[in-house]
Structure 1
Amino acid sequence: MRWIRAAGRGLLVAAVVLAGHVSAGAGADPGSARGGGRGPMTLATAGDLTGYLGPLLEGWNRGHPDERVTLVELPDSADEARAQLATGLRSGDGRYDILNMDVAWTSEFAAAGWIAPLEADRFPVDSFLPPVLDTARYGGRLYAVPYVTNAAMLYYRKDVLDRAGETPPRTWAELERQARTLAPRHGLGGYAGQFLPYEGLTVNATEAVYSAGGSILGDDGRVAADSPEVRTGLGFLARGVRDGWIPREALTYKEEESRQAFQDGRLLFLRNWPYAYAGASGADSRVAGKFGAVPLPGPDGPGTSVLGGSNLAVSARARHPESASDLIAYLTSAPVQRMVLTEGALPPVRAELYRDPGLIRRFPYLPTLRASVLSAAARPKSARYEQVSLVVQAVVHDVMAQHREPGESARRLARELSAVTRRG
């Protein structure tokens, strides 16, 4: 599996366990499906480019010869993977046993009746970092189990800041000043995130809004976009492009383009997921040994990251739901979660791993990542999340491209989101 697109290449792309063609009622408990509840499964994942998942599943297969899992890969793109899943689930296709979903899809899939509610006591939920559980719930029920989490960090050129006698920015004002003044002295762009109109832009914009104390949708699903806090968040992003400390080229960046720009020594600051740490530390990186990572800044202090990652859910039409639930418990167990980090370089959901001295020596960003996850928040929850995200992308890209003012954009965002949620 791989961190890509939707909460970035910091987000585990959709994966699915495909099984036979036997149906259970939408929203049914996993144990209610036909077929005896136990049997072989097929795990399909979008782009297991790290190659870590196969050995994990072999560990399961050795102990469960009658419930073997076969790995099948879906397209790399999260958008394509979601479309493929949604098409099959909407048509009543009974192939899917387990879905490894982008955390933002839980509400949509639960509301559609595509995934079944789960019994929390079957899973090690008390061992998870607390915020990640919120991404797995919908309507007060547990519909998924966190598998991999993610939160953004601010990467910075430590060598540049050290020479200037500066510390990493804790506020937007500090970030703006350093990006505007220090970066040009060294021939660098100031700051970049993921600003192409796709899911990554939704994440970046939501982080700016959350950091300013606002929200796009309230906890009750009501539109909250026309607010001073939303205007502040949009203004931060628009001002960066207008004043030049966000390079215009960054409006074309997804995760990989932005990572490469930082790794090639073209940026002072980068917002990205933890996966970028390994690349920037590699032998071919021009910034290896010259950078650090801190939590995202906000208007008056540390900001708020959006939670990325993936959740495991059991299809409402699963043929072997008991096996599916046991596989989820296996994949979220402490030994396997350790391998998710050490073999896949993906942030685990088990809290104790973030305090392990040996792991911290190997992955020095873990304390920063833990702080980011603990202060992070889920993306807006909506049964029509895909449409919500498309609206956010379009509006925010317009304001960053200087086509509209932040105030006008906040009103437009509220107007268009209201139309989307009314249809839901």
Structure 2
Amino acid sequence: MSARRTELSRRGFLTGSLMIAAGAVTAACSTDPSGGGSSSGAKTTLNVWYHAYGEAGTQQAVLRYAKAFTKANPDIAVKVTWVPGDYTSKLNATLLTDTAPDVFEIGDFSEAFARRGQIAALDDLYGSAKADFNENALSTVTVDGKLYGVKALDDVMMFYYRKSTLSKAGITPPDTYDALVAAAKELSTKKNKGLFLGNDGLGDSAILAIFSNGGDLVADGKAVFDSPQAQEAVAGLKRLHDDKSLLLGFTTDWWDPAALIQNVVPMQWSGLWAMPAIQTALGDDFGVLPWPAFKAGGAPVVRVGGWTSCVNAKGKKVDAAKKFVQWLWIQQSDLQKDWSESYGLHIPPRKSVAATADKLSKGAAKETVELAAKYGKSNPGTWSTAVGNAFATAAKKIVGGQGDAAQFLTGAAKVAQTDIDKQLS
């Protein structure tokens, strides 16, 4: 359920809205993701947006949650709007109109929403439960000391590898970047490649490489992904491309474990959400790894993303919207557990809920939770689409051998800084 996946083709659900009124479900008869639909007779009708999760059962689950809420609060009807495709662009456009949703989710939380006054501060919703949220779930939604969302789930991204394939080749699961490059090369054959990072050959790798070499992306409001550590790390990714060790242009992208399951590659970057499918297909013939340290002095890293529920600060139903968010993501621990465990696999942001998640208590899932706690890194709150695109374009040119890493990253950092300055102004 990573935010990076909202634009990808796995989002195959139809756009539409469903109304939950007094515990009943009725079609809102709209193919417009901004809403439409009928009145329920309740005093207030909330429009709640979700991106079209690909995991089976997710749409039915959010409808069930909405039904439970309206049963407890019959004066508030809920219209669930399921938005496929480029969710972020659709959300950004709709927030500028009178049809903006009352409650919506954000993947990879952006500070810009708070600074533009588009989302409401939600400190008053947490109460004593605040201490029960993990540090990442609080820090990622904090802007100038205030909390602007409630994290619904944590997504962890890491390496999967086929134990039997590496063992047969006499390869130890790589724990350094040099070892990763060597393993990917040795595991590549005329028919198959050794590693899948994404169809573009990059995925999250350029970000991970920088973190693993002690660098950062944005610090104190400044784009710093052109630092010497960053230049060295991104330039180092070219080795994987020069060796032709990477699977490119597969039928699905990195978020889907098909390449690993179908034995197209023995190592793949993906997310915790894919683990149930991998376990079903491979049994215990897989392991998990962080992105390894780039060199001595660096550190392994896994990426932590996820989705955050926010309230439209400019809407006319802020109080009711806050009530819905508080009820679902703070008060209903059973539903929070269901959301994280029953549809793919994710880490509940509430520590008490995570502690009761049986599927996270053993094996590779438990190891992944431990990796997230030890090595987890999240993108900064100023990592907007414009900033990310500037960085990714530079990284692609570098690994493609089009020029010097310092030149491309310095240029991209200047472009990114312009956008960051706008965000912070």
| Alpha-carbon displacement from aligned partner over 1:203-228 (angstroms, at most 9, x marks no partner) | 4322221121111211x211212212
The equivalent of 1:294 in structure 2 is 289
Which shifted more, 131-140 or 348-357?
348-357
Match of 1:109 among 99, 110, 113: 113
SS in structure 2 of the partner of residue 409 of structure 1: helix
- Structure 2: gaps of 5 or more residues: 20-42
Choose the corresponding residue for 1:331, options 328, 336, 342.
Answer: 328
The amino acid across from 1:57 in the alignment is: A
CA distance in 1 between counterparts of 2:102 and 2:374 reads: 31
Which consecutive segments of 4 or more residues in structure 1 shift more than 6 A? 15-19
Give the drift of 1:121.
Answer: 5.4
Measure, in 1, the Cα distance between the counterparts of 2:104 and 2:287.
Answer: 35
Which structure carries more relative contact order (alpha carbon 8 Å, separation 6+)? 1
Q: Does structure 2 conserve the Cα–Cα contact (< 8 Å) formed by 1:8 and 1:308? A: no
2:132 is aligned with 1:127: yes
1:100 CA drift (Å): 0.8
Deviations 1:345-389 (A, max 9, x none): 34121223444473336884133134225532221332x712101
| 1:12-91 mapped onto 2 (5 Å cutoff) | 39-49=44-54, 50-51=56-57, 52-74=61-83, 76-77=84-85, 80-91=86-97
In the other structure, the counterpart of 1:404 is 403
Instruction: Give the residue type in structure 1 aligned to 2:366.
Output: L
**Aligned amino acid, residue 264 of structure 1:** Q
Which residue number corresponds to residue 171 of structure 1? 176
AA of the residue aligned to 2:398: V
CA 108–6 in structure 1, closer or farther in 2 if over 3 Å, else same: farther
3-state SS, counterpart of residue 58 of structure 1:
helix
Change over 3 Å in CA distance of 1:401–1:290 after alignment to 2: same
Counterpart Cα distance in 1 of 2:369 and 2:79: 32
- CA deviations 1:117-155 (Å, max 9, x no partner) are 122553533212211222111222211111111121110
Aligned partner of 2:313 in structure 1 is: 316
- Cα distance, 1:312 vs. partner? 1.0
**Cα RMSD for the two superposed structures:** 3.3
Query: In structure 1, what is the equivalent of residue 415 of structure 2?
Result: 416
Going from structure 1 to structure 2, the CA distance change for 1:150 and 1:41 (only over 3 Å counts) comes to same
Asked if the contact 2:234–2:398 (Cα under 8 Å) also holds between the matched residues in 1, the reply is yes
Q: For the residues of structure 1 that align with 2:171 and 2:232, how far apart are their CA atoms?
A: 26
2:387 corresponds to: 388
Amino acid corresponding to residue 268 of structure 1 in structure 2:
P
**Local SS of the residue matching 2:75:** coil
Q: Deviations over 1:27-55 (max 9, x none)?
A: xxxxxxxxxxx833132222144223222
Q: Residues 330 and 375 from structure 1, CA distance in 2 versus in 1: closer, same or farther, beyond 3 angstroms?
A: farther
Unaligned runs of 5+ in 1: 20-37
- Tell me if structure 2 keeps the 8 A contact 1:117–1:144: yes
* 1:35 match: none
Separation in 1 of the partners of 2:151 and 2:228? 33
Give identity over the alignment, percent. 19
Tell me the distance in 1 between the aligned counterparts of 2:373 and 2:274.
Answer: 16
Q: Cα distance, 1:235 vs. partner?
A: 2.0
Structure 2 residue matching 1:161: 3-state secondary structure: helix
SS of residue paired to 1:308: strand
1:191 is paired with a residue whose SS is coil
| Secondary structure of 1:244's aligned partner | coil
Is the contact made by 1:16 and 1:98 (CA closer than 8 Å) also made in structure 2? no
In structure 2, C-alpha distance between the alignment counterparts of 1:153 and 1:208, rounded to whole Å: 13
Aligned residue number for residue 26 of structure 1? none
**What letter corresponds to residue 343 of structure 2 in structure 1?**
G
Aligned pairs for 1:229-378 (under 5 A) are: 229-249=229-249, 254-256=253-255, 259-282=257-280, 285=281, 287-299=282-294, 300=296, 302-332=299-329, 333-347=332-346, 348-356=348-356, 358-360=358-360, 364-378=364-378
| Contact 2:214-2:299 within 8 A present in 1 as well | no
- What is the identity, as a one-letter code, of the residue corresponding to 1:421? I
Counterpart secondary structure, 1:311: strand
Amino acid at match of 2:196: A
The aligned counterpart of 2:37 is none
Partner of 1:191 in structure 2?
195
Question: 1:217: which partner in 2?
Answer: 218
Deviation (angstroms), 1:159: 0.7
Native 8 Å contact 2:44 2:76 kept in 1: yes
Q: How far 1:249 sits from its partner (Å)?
A: 4.1
Give distance in 1, aligned partners of 2:89 and 2:224: 28
| Aligned-residue offset at 1:3 | 4.5
The 1-side partners of 2:309 and 2:412 are apart by: 31
